[in-house]
Every structure is written in structure tokens, then in C-alpha cells.
Amino acid sequence: MTTSPIALAIHGGCGTLPKAEMSEEEWAEAKADLASSLRAGWTILAKGGSAVDAVEAAVLVLENSAHFNAGHGAAFNSDGEHELDASIMDGETLAAGALCGVKRIRNPISAAKTLMRRGDPLLLAGAAADSFAEAEGLDMVENEYFSTERRRKNLSSMKIRELVGTASEASEAEKHGTVGAVARDVEGHLAAATSTGGYTNKPPGRVGDSPIIGAGTYARDGRCAVSGTGKGEYFIRYCIGHEIASLMAYSGLSLADATDKAIAELTAHKVGAGLVAIGADGAIVAPYNSEGMYRGWVTPDGFVHVATHGDVELAGQAEPAP
């Protein structure tokens, strides 16, 4: 895709439902939320704001939408609770903040950025992370706030599959889902952010790749910014985010070739996966190997593009790049 002084791309997870499983109205709402996410991040970039602030703003919109597995609309664990993970990384300084297993933070991505700004520690887990966010004055909610009827049905479906031995045959849409954003600001700095509810019917305490720096989230100026979605255990094993940056730095691969190679590794293991990434020059890629992936980006002329399956749609115009 065309490069630009500023750049932004998002994903809402590679666990996209088959088109027949949602009404036209529901698909329209999901696409509208993707477009709103892009406009929120792009507005910051177009005014000279930082990539870090832009990815936070974009992910916030998706955390607040019932259509994505992060924040409100997050998956249930096997106990019928929500445990949320999130992280954010600044490519300029390699500073990062991450949370896992949180139950009461309305917007985990904002708590992750607050932790990153504090500087130490980088990662907080469970009740300690909830307490940190509360002490910082962030919005706190009851765990039930994250629940939606669709996620309750997913949990019931996965429990039945577990009983009859067909859990491995579940679609990505039944199991997974993540949201993320990557950005390049006018100063050339990169940032990445990822947020998730994990996978449906996961064991309590399970932590995936989204809060693991170098796996589901990675940003490094001069190389790339990456946010992934899919089976987190494999993203951790392959250190996908860092692997892509290393393939570019040490093997001289382009962003497109490096991300394709990383996705191919996962495809070989029959792992559903996708990601969005931005290069140092503002180039954007959004590869995936599943039936679909909620995704979107803004072109340098300010046109907002969103997609769920194969077709990419124009969703209006934001401010042109400076």
C-alpha cells in the first residue's frame, strides 16, 4: 500500500464469523465501529499527535464495542468470568506496558499505557493490575459489564463441543478474537497496541500472546509495528512480533515478505492467525489465513477502508495526511 508520513491500521480479530451468522445490520454496525476506531486514531496523527496516543484511541473504540473480543464483548472463561489482557509498546523508546487476567478495568489498553508511562514494572497480573488501575483513577466496572449474549452462546457451544470431543473443530469465531492497532506518527515513530478477552472457555488464569511483548505486540522504530490475532500459544512460541522485526533487520526482507513468512509458519501448524503491521516508511500490511479478519486502514489521502472478509470497503474520509 502507498506510504505516508503518518499511517494507521487496525484489526478486530481473525475470528470473523461466516457472513450468514450475523444480520446485515450487525455487519454494518461492526464495520461502522472499525471506521470509528480508525477515525479516532487518525485524528490524533493528523494533528501531529503521537503513535502511542493514536493506537490507544483506536483500540479504545473497539474495546467499547460489543462486536469484538476485548472490553465489552469479551469472551468468557470456563468459570463464566472475563479475564482481559492488553499491551502497548512505543517503538521510539521500546517502553511498554501490559496487563493480564484483569477483571474490573473498563479499558485495559488505557491501563497498559498508564503502566508504560510509569516505567516499571512492565507487566502486572490479575488483582494487582486491577488495583493499580483503580489507584490511578481509571474507570472500573463490575465483571458483568463485559458480558454479551453472543459470548454466552459461544461459551455454551464450546462447553458442548468439549463434552462431545469436537472442541478442535470449532471455528476461529467461536474460539478466539482480539483487537489491535499499529501506527506511524509524523515524527516517524511507531507504536502497537493489542487487547483481548482470550478464547472462549479458556481455563481461569490462562494468558495468551496479547500482553506478551514480542509475541502479540511489538514496535521498534526503523523496523515495524505489529499487532497479532489468533492462537496465542503459537504467537508466543514463535515470538511473532519480534520475529517479523528480526526478519526485516537481519534477513533484509520487506514488511510484506516478513509478515507472510511469519503467517506461513503458523499456517503450517494449521493455526488460524492474522496481524496488522506498519513499516518504518508507513507501508501497511494485513495478512491472515482464516476465512476473514476484521481490519481497516487509512490511506494517505485520508480515505478510511474497512473489511471483514475478502472485499475491502470505502467508509468515508478523514483528514488528509499532513
For the annotated catalytic residues, the residue numbers are: 178
CB within 8 Å of 143: residues ≥ 6 apart? 81, 82, 103, 104
Burial level of 218, CB count in 10 A (0-12/13-18/19+)? buried
Q: Is 188 left (phi over 0), alpha (psi -120 to 50) or beta?
A: left
C-alpha to C-alpha distance for 166 and 163, rounded to whole angstroms: 8
How many Å separate Cα 80 from the centre of its chain? Answer: 23
